[in-house]
Each structure stands twice: as structure tokens, then as C-alpha cells.
Structure 1
Amino acid sequence: MTQQELANAACVALGTIRKIERGERGVTDDTLQAIADALGVDPARLRHDRGPAHSQARDALPALSAAIAAYDCPEDGPVRPIVDLRSAVDTAVQWRLGSQYTRIVRDLPNMLAELTRAFHTAPEAERAELAQLLVSAYRSADAAAYKLGAHDLSARLVELMRWAAAEAAEPLLVASVAYVRTETFFAARAHAAGLRALRQAIDAAPAPSTAAARAARGSLHMRAAVIAGRAKDADAATEHLGEAEQLARAVKEDVYNGTAFGPDSVRIHQVSVAVSLGGDYVGTALDVSHEWKPPASLPAERRSGFYIELARAQLWAGMPDGAFESLKVARKIAPQHTRDHPWVREDASRLRRLRRADSETLTSFAEWCSAT
């Protein structure tokens, strides 16, 4: 990129870019984030004074925890009109889909406090919509907490999502929260219990009479297929994946109630299920990758997840060079999601032991994701 191209992509003045590169001025967090987004890298990679990986986002987690502790007794303060709150939450959802966890943990504490004030002081007619906005905001916060390894905080956020969804009295929203709740079972390795919870959610989900209802039910089946795979229940995984495929054929790929669903998402979950089952199923993951790649229209987190799962399958299949290439693609798509994924660290460590990739490049990658 030329300086002008970078300035255009980051929506930053050309003079600012020049002064930053010459060391004549500092850089604010917002400008750093804009430049990092334009380059497709994590902001920490651009700082000469950066400490250990993840520290900036993780240091902000206590503020997020404090914001949700007072969900039923918020402090007094300003509250914007509901149209402005809706716009702010939509932005937070895009941060989640784009794996921009640093922005989430930085800006969500104040947003959650304001939304909570709005909910408790709003007239009855507005409370349901504000509860829906709280669910979306909690989900964005949960994505950052879970990916950063703060599983206790994530579990608390999931419970608040369930509370807010009940206040919203929207069955499709309840189904989407059940999808997210599976994280707690993944974290606890309670796969059989997670599968039971998802089956209950599927039974309780609205009939698939609309695109949104089909997507809600199909997403639950996708999630059930993966957790069944983790439980090594191949029959259940195949059954749920088949149900998801059937529902996906009746909708277009899109984000429904905060969850991407459609034919492409189901195909990505085919890889996830194959990797979860392991053994003889790894070939399925490789077959999918030979025939298809996730389109750029899918959320960044989902696309990067595909390549992270594929890298693991390639390692198991004795393809270390391909695995490293897949990890690099995942990093390019969603740096923060990739860096904080435990499988990435495990696989980068294994690749270093195998010494099959260029040592300098692999060492740099391993240091970036804190692989041992």
C-alpha cells in the first residue's frame, strides 16, 4: 500500500499517516484500530511498546464484569433515544461478527450500563425492544469474554442473555440464546449435557414456517451436530447435520438474530463436525476444502474458524505445510479470533516441533499467538 492508499482505506488523513510513520506524532486508540483494520491485522502488531499478547483486551475485562454486576441496579446517568441505542448495538454486533474483541471490551461496559438504565426506566411499551438490545449487547460482550478465555465471565453473560430474552418474550431470541449457551458446555467439556440442552431448545423452537424460524432451528441443529461430534456420537452428529442441511436449503445465507446460517454456514460445520469426530472422519474435512472455500460475504469469525479447523485436519493428515498456510489465512481474515484460539496455539507449537515450515516465519507466528 502507498501512504495514500492506506489513508483512504483507514479513513485517516494522509498527513496524519505521514506524521505517524515519521514518528512526529502519537496515535490514538481509534486511529490505531482504523489503521489495523485497513491492514487486516491486530492493533497490537503495530505497537512497538506492546506487552504480552492479549493484554490490552484482557486488562479491560474487569470493567466489563463490573458493568454487568449492576444489571438490576444501574447507576443514574444519561440515556440516549432508543433509535441511537439501536444503532450503537448494531455496531457492536458487527464488531462481534468481525472478531474485533478489543473494541468490544473497550466500549461495551458503558454501553451495557446505559442499556440497563434505559431498560429499567423505560415505559412498558419500550421494554421488550430494550431487552432485545440487551441480549445483542450481552452476546457481543460474551464473544470477547469467551474467546479471551474468561469462561466464568462468559457464563455470567449467558445467564444475563437468558434473563433478557425472557423479558423480551421473543421465541426466536430464546432459541438464539440457547445456541450461544452451548459455549458453557464446551468450556466445561460437558458435551452430553450440552447435547441434551440443545435438543430441548430445538423442541421448544418455533415451527419452521418462516426464514427466520428455519434459521433459528437450523442453527441449533448445527450446534448440536458439533457438540455431538465432541461427544464422539457420530450418529447424532450426522442426524443433526442432516437436519441443518435440509433447513439451510430453504433459506439464503444471512445473519438471523445474530447467528449466521445458510448453506455456507452448514458446509463450514461439516468441517467442524469431522474434526470433532476425528479419526476416519478427517478426510471429510479435507474433501470439503478441496471443493469449496468460504466466501468473503460470510462473517470473519466464521471464515477464520473454517481455516483453523481445516489446519487441525491437515496436521492430523500429515500435511504440516498446508496446515500452516491455513493458519496464516485465518490470521489474515480475523487476527484477534485466530490469535486467541487455543487450537491455534496448540497447532503452532506442534508445527514448531515438526520444523516443517520456514523457521523464522513460523517462530514469528508462534510468538504472535503465544504458542510455547
Structure 2
Amino acid sequence: MPASSTVLGLRLETARAVAHLSRRQLAEASGVSESMIQKVGDGRRIPSDQVLEALATALGTTPEELMDGPARTDSRVHQTIPELQRTIAVYDLPEDGPVRPLAQIAADVDAAVEDRVQSQYVRLGERAPALLGELFRAVDQARGREREEAARLLALAVRSADAVAYKYGYRDLSARLVELMRWAASMAGDPALTATAAYVRMETYFAARQLAPGLRSLRAAADRMPAPTTERLAAAAAALHMRAAVAAGRMRLADDARAHLREAAALAGRVRERLYDGTAVGPDSLEIHRLSVAVELGQEDDLQEAVAAASRWAPPRTLPAERRSHYYIDLARAQVHLGRPQHAAESLLVARQIAPLHVREHGQVRTELATMVRLTRGRDERVLALARWARAV
């Protein structure tokens, strides 16, 4: 999709910072007037093809990278996508083949969930097609309670596969996998799993920037939940409210975001911190979401308070790597908003140490790194190295 004038302007300014060129120097190197460069950089003008080519050449990049952004990272994960696509294409018409006892399959599903939450995307991508294929056969062949259990395992396995598609930018494939998860969860007849599917579905709304209908879907899912009479039901409801708080925060609905956080706090306080149907829920996960909501709302007092809180609390190492790294990503975002790019770089380095693949493929990381390059005028080598590693420049 072609860049908007605002996005193109930001990419031009980032590339100019990396090249250590003032607007006057870029004008001299490209032959484009300084006033035109200022208009493009400020997002007030989309340049002609000839102007874009001249600017890209002077900046040592390409028109395509200025318009579309840096190319995606080179990873073995991309090589696993075609087989995953072929496997799910025939989900309801699986070929005949062996199916192990469900207890044995369950062990592999648990391993896939662990790979997802620990950001082991290469291994997950390599193993997911065979696991899904076997589970499609299991659901097709089983009956009664055994079919419900096979469907439950399928929903969890599909969710793990979706992490690969979503993190690596295969949005159409991710949306298809989310629908498969909902299909499997409905067969399982499990309200907690159905709620988890609604939680995961919010990814589709985030990707499409359809926050209002996404928030409505989360609220509807929470309303459909039975009373939280078990720890698992309480955890599923808490997860819905935590995600709803983030969505409301991104919409700048401060009262709604805080109301959902309060609902989540009441529920999360009743459960032990652990994975429930693949979602980490508990008091520590709630603290991580508090920071996320503060960042999404973008109010300076909240950000100052969140950054100060980070000096007193850190996510325990018992939490999954993906969730811990997300905390430091959000901390970096808060620090960037407060004009502290060097502190943000330190936070991103911690996040990278915890879960490098998660950080490298995180869209918000690339956005923040590009901002950090501009704030430091391309002169902070640590920031530049991080930005190049994540393909943010």
C-alpha cells in the first residue's frame, strides 16, 4: 500500500538522519529544492516519481523503501509459510493418515504453546503444519467427548501457528487462522476457550485499524462469559478486559480503558499467574498491561508515573519471554514519548536479550526506532545499530 504523505515524510526524515544530511545538504546532493524537501518531510506533499528517485539516490536508499518502508527481515520463518498455507487450505477435507492418541498429541500442543510464548518462531513454524494436519484428521475422525477434546487441542495449536503468521506480517493468513481457532473453539463447547478465541481475534482488528468494532467484540465476549466460578473462567474474563483496556487506550478513551483495567484487576487478583489456554494471566500480567495502557493513552503524567514504576518493579523471569519482552518494548515507547531515546535504547536491548525474534518483528519497535533515529539525528551508534538490526531504517 502506498505511503501517506505523513508516513512518507517520516521515512524521508529518518533516512536523512541516518545519512547525517541537513535539508540544505540533501538539496545539494539531490538537485531537489530545499522547500520541496521541507514540504515532503513535513507531510505536506507527495513528490513526483522523478523527485522521489533523486531523493532516494542521494540518501543511499530506493524509492520503494521510502514509499513502502524497509523490506521485511530475512528469516527462516518465511520458508515455513507455504506449507502452513497448504495445510490449512484443506482443514475440512483432511487426507487419510495416522492419528496418535490424543494424550500424545496434547504433549506436542503444549510444546507448541511453549514455543509461542517463548518466541521460538522458527521451530514453531517448522512443526506447526504436521501438527495441524494430524489434528484436522483427529477432529474429522473423532466423535462425542473425544471430538471436543481434539477440537480444544486444535484451537490451541492453531493459535500457536497464528503467532508465526501475525508476527511476520502475513495478515490474511493470520485472519484465516483466527477464524479456524474460533471454529475449533465452538466445536469444543468450552466458554473459556471461546473467550480466548475472542481475545486472539482482536489481532485482526488491530491489524485492520478497526479499533471500535474490535472493542465492541471484546465487550460482547465478556458479556457472554458465564460467572467466573472457576480459576480458568476468571482468567479468560480477565484477559478480555486487559485487551479491551489496551484497545480503549489506543482509541484515547481514558475512562473506558481504566474501567476495563479495574475489571481485569478484580479478576486477575483471584488467579495464579500462569498460562490459561495459552494466555498469561495474573497479577504480574496485569502490571504489564497497566504500562501498555499508559503508553496507548499517551498522557504525560501517566507516562511519567509508569516509567517511575519501572524503576521499582520488573517482570519476573517466570513469566513467558514474549510477555516480558513486551513490557520492555512498551517501556521504551514511554521513554521515547518522554524524549529519552537513550533510555529507550537500553529498554529495547533488554527486550532483545529476552526474546530477539519477538522484538525484531514487532511493528511498534520499528516505528519507535525510526523516531529514536530522528531524535538523535542519526548520531547515536547504538540506536542506529538497533534500527538496522530491526530493519527500521
Asked if TM exceeds 0.5, the reply is yes
Q: Deviations over 1:73-95 (max 9, x none)?
A: 01222222212111111100000
Please report how far the alpha carbon of residue 175 of structure 1 lies from its aligned counterpart in structure 2 after TM superposition.
Answer: 0.8
More divergent stretch after superposition (76-85 vs 260-269): 76-85
Aligned match of 1:156: 176
8 Å Cα contact 1:339/1:368 also seen in 2: yes
Please report how far the alpha carbon of residue 52 of structure 1 lies from its aligned counterpart in structure 2 after TM superposition.
Answer: 7.0
Instruction: Map 1:1-372 to 2 at 5 A.
Output: 53-280=73-300, 281-355=302-376, 359-372=380-393
Q: What SS does the corresponding residue of 1:260 show, helix, strand or coil? A: strand
Please report how far the alpha carbon of residue 243 of structure 1 lies from its aligned counterpart in structure 2 after TM superposition.
Answer: 0.8
8 Å Cα contact 2:341/2:376 also seen in 1: no
Please report how far the alpha carbon of residue 53 of structure 1 lies from its aligned counterpart in structure 2 after TM superposition.
Answer: 2.6
**Equivalent AA in structure 1 for residue 250 of structure 2:** R
**Separation in 1, partners of 2:354, 2:377:** 24
Q: What SS does the corresponding residue of 2:187 show, helix, strand or coil? A: helix
Which is bigger in relative contact order (C-alpha 8 A, separation at least 6)?
A: 2
**Separation in 1, partners of 2:175, 2:322:** 20
More divergent stretch after superposition (277-286 vs 91-100): 277-286
Q: Deviations over 1:147-204 (max 9, x none)?
A: 1111111111110011101100011110111111111111111111111101110011
Please report how far the alpha carbon of residue 334 of structure 1 lies from its aligned counterpart in structure 2 after TM superposition.
Answer: 0.6
**Separation in 2, partners of 1:127, 1:234:** 43
**Separation in 2, partners of 1:125, 1:269:** 36
**Equivalent AA in structure 2 for residue 111 of structure 1:** L
More divergent stretch after superposition (155-164 vs 245-254): 245-254
TM-score by length of 1: 0.83
Please report how far the alpha carbon of residue 212 of structure 1 lies from its aligned counterpart in structure 2 after TM superposition.
Answer: 1.2
8 Å Cα contact 1:321/1:357 also seen in 2: no
**Equivalent AA in structure 2 for residue 88 of structure 1:** D
**Equivalent AA in structure 1 for residue 136 of structure 2:** T
8 Å Cα contact 1:320/1:351 also seen in 2: yes
Please report how far the alpha carbon of residue 339 of structure 1 lies from its aligned counterpart in structure 2 after TM superposition.
Answer: 0.3
8 Å Cα contact 1:54/1:340 also seen in 2: no
More divergent stretch after superposition (87-96 vs 54-63): 54-63
Please report how far the alpha carbon of residue 360 of structure 1 lies from its aligned counterpart in structure 2 after TM superposition.
Answer: 4.0
Rg larger in 1 or in 2?
2
8 Å Cα contact 1:324/1:357 also seen in 2: no
**Equivalent AA in structure 1 for residue 304 of structure 2:** G
**Separation in 1, partners of 2:167, 2:186:** 25
**How many aligned residue pairs are there?**
322
Q: What SS does the corresponding residue of 1:291 show, helix, strand or coil? A: coil
Please report how far the alpha carbon of residue 357 of structure 1 lies from its aligned counterpart in structure 2 after TM superposition.
Answer: 8.8
**Separation in 2, partners of 1:107, 1:368:** 26
8 Å Cα contact 1:175/1:217 also seen in 2: yes
Percentage of matched positions with identical amino acids:
52
Please report how far the alpha carbon of residue 123 of structure 1 lies from its aligned counterpart in structure 2 after TM superposition.
Answer: 3.6
Q: Deviations over 1:67-116 (max 9, x none)?
A: 11111001222222212111111100000110111111111011101110
**Separation in 2, partners of 1:210, 1:135:** 21
**Separation in 2, partners of 1:288, 1:131:** 42
Uncovered stretches (5+) of structure 1, i.e. residues with no partner: 1-50
Please report how far the alpha carbon of residue 355 of structure 1 lies from its aligned counterpart in structure 2 after TM superposition.
Answer: 3.2
**Separation in 1, partners of 2:305, 2:95:** 53
Q: Deviations over 1:95-150 (max 9, x none)?
A: 01101111111110111011101111124331010000000000001111111111
8 Å Cα contact 2:325/2:351 also seen in 1: yes
Q: What SS does the corresponding residue of 1:250 show, helix, strand or coil? A: coil
When the two chains are superposed, the root-mean-square deviation of aligned CA atoms in Å is 1.6
Please report how far the alpha carbon of residue 362 of structure 1 lies from its aligned counterpart in structure 2 after TM superposition.
Answer: 3.2
TM-score by length of 2: 0.79
Q: What SS does the corresponding residue of 1:78 show, helix, strand or coil? A: coil
8 Å Cα contact 1:271/1:288 also seen in 2: no
